[in-house]
Amino acid sequence: MSDRPPIPAEIRRRVLVEAGHRCAIPTCRYIDVDVHHIIPWETCKIHEYDNLIALCPNCHRRAHKKGEIDRKSLRLYKANLRFTHDRFSQLEVDVIFELGRQPQAQVMWAPFNRLLLKRLIDSGYIQYIVTPATAIIGGMKSNPDYIQISQKGLDYLETLGEVEL
């Protein structure tokens, strides 16, 4: 029987929200997550937000193995999460990661939802490709436009976890 107390609900919630309820490692982003102590519980004996990160079971196991995912990397991933989420909405974060998985693809996007990606478009991380209107219904263009990740967006994704902020 462990005498380790559970992570307080408010702290756990903050860690999960920070990562968008996904693995904090940008190349993973798996949705089944654990909350991991960056400095091991056995050493610190305290649940502090700054020392906790959301990891999927696979990345969590790798973090416990020496040399696979080290503490400095985990701290960088956590710092980058804060930077990214301060800058972009959860939808924008999800869109750029998804586009990064298929960099050559042009993904359909409803023109009336363009505003939802404004910061990604303005940053130059994604390209917004407008198609000519084929039909106007109720004052709205009915055919989709397209979005695609730019080289600048790919470069941004590549720096996550590699550059100290």
Cα separation, 20 vs 140, whole angstroms: 32
44 and 114 in a single domain? The answer is no
The pLDDT of residue 10 is: 93
The pLDDT of residue 86 is: 73
- End of a domain among 87, 118, 146? 87
81 and 41 in a single domain? The answer is yes
44 and 78 in a single domain? The answer is yes
The pLDDT of residue 163 is: 40
Does the global pTM surpass 0.85? no
CATH number of residue 143's parent domain: 1.10.10
In this structure, is residue 13 part of a structural domain?
Answer: yes
- End of a domain among 61, 87, 113? 87
What parts of the chain have a pLDDT lower than 70?
Answer: 1-2, 160-165
Count of domains forming the chain: 2
In this structure, is residue 1 part of a structural domain?
Answer: no
Nearest to 12 by CA among 37, 42, 41: 37
Nearest to 118 by CA among 91, 99, 78, 82: 91
Nearest to 94 by CA among 146, 26, 159: 26
Residue 145 sits in which domain range? 90-159
In this structure, is residue 67 part of a structural domain?
Answer: yes
Q: What does the pLDDT look like over 31-79, one tens digit per residue?
A: 999 999 999 999 999 999 999 999 999 999 999 997 799 999 999 898 8
